[in-house]
Structure 1
Amino acid sequence: MSRRDQVLYMAGAWCLSYPDQDLLGKVPLMRAALAEFAGAVEHFREVLDALESMPLMESQAHYVREFDLGRRHALHLSYWTDGDTRRRGEVLGLFKEAYRHSGVLVDLDGELPDYLPMVLEFAARVDPAAGRTLLQRYRASLEMLRLGLLRDNLPHAAILAAICATLPGKSPQDEQEVMRMAGYGPPTERVGLDPYDPRLLPVRGS
């Protein structure tokens, strides 16, 4: 993995996390690191500007509203492929297995293992090959999230676009194209159905 991709993944992990004082302190570091690569900072500029200019409590309220209270911008990758079905537990186990095989203790900090900021940090700092494989396997989830953020005019869409651009293949233009690419329908809340199995998603370039 290139240094540029590692920086994009780490900055993406931070920018997609719940904002706190520690995150605000990392903004100058992110700007400096991204500035080393042509055009990289442009994908993050609007989010970084908002973190620096918006009162922290307002940033936190905005994050909760957009990422926690609803599922239009779900940051858990397996939600997009398995919804709230029994199969999802098995899929989450695949993420835990990838973390275990890295030989590094990954602190889930109360989060599910498919939480996108965690997967991005894993790819950036722990096991780049395994992390990229997870991102590519769940490329459809990344694209669905990107399109949802774009539809709602949220600046995080540019960050998702930058992340997707590090993976093989062009990004789909709409949700229907994503579903044709991956072979699954919208997430379902009905427990016990047999939705698309994300383990069968081919990893492009492999």
Structure 2
Amino acid sequence: MSPLPATIPDLVRTRVRAAVRRPGRAARPGRPTPLTPQETQDRALLLRLLSLLLQYPDAELADSRPVLTAATEALPSSPATEHLAAFTAWFTGQEPEALQRHYVETFDLRRKSSLYLTYYLHGDTRRRGMALLTLAQRYRATGWDTDGGELPDHLPVVLEFAALTGPRSGEAPLRRHRRGLELIHHALTDADSPYRHVLAALLTLLPPPTEADRAAVARLVAEGPPNEEVGLDPYGAYGDGEFAPPGTFAPPGTFVPPTPAPPTRVPPAPTIGTEGPR
């Protein structure tokens, strides 16, 4: 297995190798052929890049644009890397303040392109709180601690988990929320946002949509996510003020999802030598 390119800094390289520890299993009928170790490593790096590019473009991320572009160019040619090349060409040509303004307008102020995935599946219902709890439990079961910087369904967090844990269980949350990802891509395309290329790159990694998926996305576009006249406490320790036990529901009307947290990035990862989840 060849090492990660030396031009990629710790910002991208860190913890990627944790995703390639597990040996692949033999393919079963109807299942994709297992990835080679090199393909698995490339996929983990691609997912890590997607996670970084969907985070708030603070000064550190803006300063790293040349190396993020180099990391994209170092990957084998694929539909995903073609989309990322289109995005990084725009990303590197913008002033940092313009990038931050576009990010906030795109992801924090538009509900249809929010990066909180459980909203699209469960909307403004009680089920969303339990979905967040279940996702957090999945992370803890692998030994991964997100450090509470973001809700567990924030797309950069979900992508980070997929990069660390591998294609099977690590990418399961992405597959489960494919319809929400399609809706985000639809909204970004309608808004003519360059971030549509990042979502398009991600969608190329997932199984093709079924007819049921397409019909569900069309309904979401027309009607929006589910809604009911109840609220839920903002997921355990991620709420404001006094923290409630995980899964505790607040009185009706107190929660209007997706209510994004202030723009933040996933907390910095440990150095390369740190062991990730097994």
Question: TM-score under structure 2 normalisation?
Answer: 0.61
What does 1:1-206 align with in structure 2 at a 5 Å threshold?
2-35=40-73, 36-39=75-78, 40-109=80-149, 111-126=150-165, 128-170=167-209, 176=215, 178=217, 186-192=224-230
Instruction: Give the distance between the partners of 1:88 and 1:177, measured in 2 at CA.
Output: 18
- Give the whole-Å Cα distance in 1 for the aligned partners of 2:196 and 2:215: 18
Instruction: For 1:13 and 1:82, locate their aligned partners in 2 and report how far apart those are by CA, in whole Å.
Output: 23
Q: Distance in 2 between matches of 1:169 and 1:125?
A: 23
Aligned to 2:239: none
Deviations 1:28-85 (A, max 9, x none): 3322222221144321234323332222112111111111012021100011111122
Residue-by-residue CA offset, 1:118-166 (whole Å, 9 max, x unaligned): 1001111245533201100111111111111112211222221221111
What CA distance in whole angstroms lies between the structure 2 residues aligned with 1:81 and 1:134? 12
SS of alignment partner, residue 129 of structure 1: coil
- 1:127, 1:42 → 2: CA distance? 22
Cα contact 2:181–2:199 (8 A) shared by 1? yes
Matched to 1:22, the amino acid is E
What is the Cα deviation at residue 117 of structure 1?
A: 0.6
Q: Which 5+ residue runs of structure 1 have no aligned equivalent?
A: 194-206
The CA RMSD over aligned residues, in Å, is 2.6
Q: Percent identity?
A: 35
Please tell me whether the aligned partners of residues 98 and 130 of structure 1 are also in contact (alpha carbons under 8 angstroms): no
1:166 aligns to what SS in structure 2?
coil
- The residue type equivalent to 2:182 in the other structure is E
Q: 2:87 touches 2:197 (CA, 8 Å); kept in 1?
A: no
Q: Which amino acid aligns with 2:202?
A: I
More divergent stretch after superposition (154-163 vs 120-129): 120-129
TM-score by length of 1: 0.80
In the TM superposition, residue 191 of structure 1 has moved relative to its aligned partner by: 2.9
Give the ranges of 4+ consecutive aligned residues of structure 1 lying more than 4 Å apart after TM superposition: none
Which one has the largest radius of gyration?
Answer: 2
- The offset of 1:177, in angstroms, is 5.3
Work out the CA distance in 2 between the residues paired with 1:179 and 1:70: 18
d(CA) in 2 for partners of 1:24 and 1:171? 37
Residue-by-residue CA offset, 1:82-103 (whole Å, 9 max, x unaligned): 1122211001011101110111
Distance in 1 (CA, whole Å) between partners of 2:205 and 2:111 is: 25
Name the CA distance, whole Å, in 2 between partners of 1:26 and 1:37: 21
Q: Distance in 1 between matches of 2:58 and 2:165?
A: 23
Q: Which runs of 5+ in 2 are unaligned?
A: 1-34, 232-278
| Alignment-mate amino acid for residue 91 of structure 1 | A
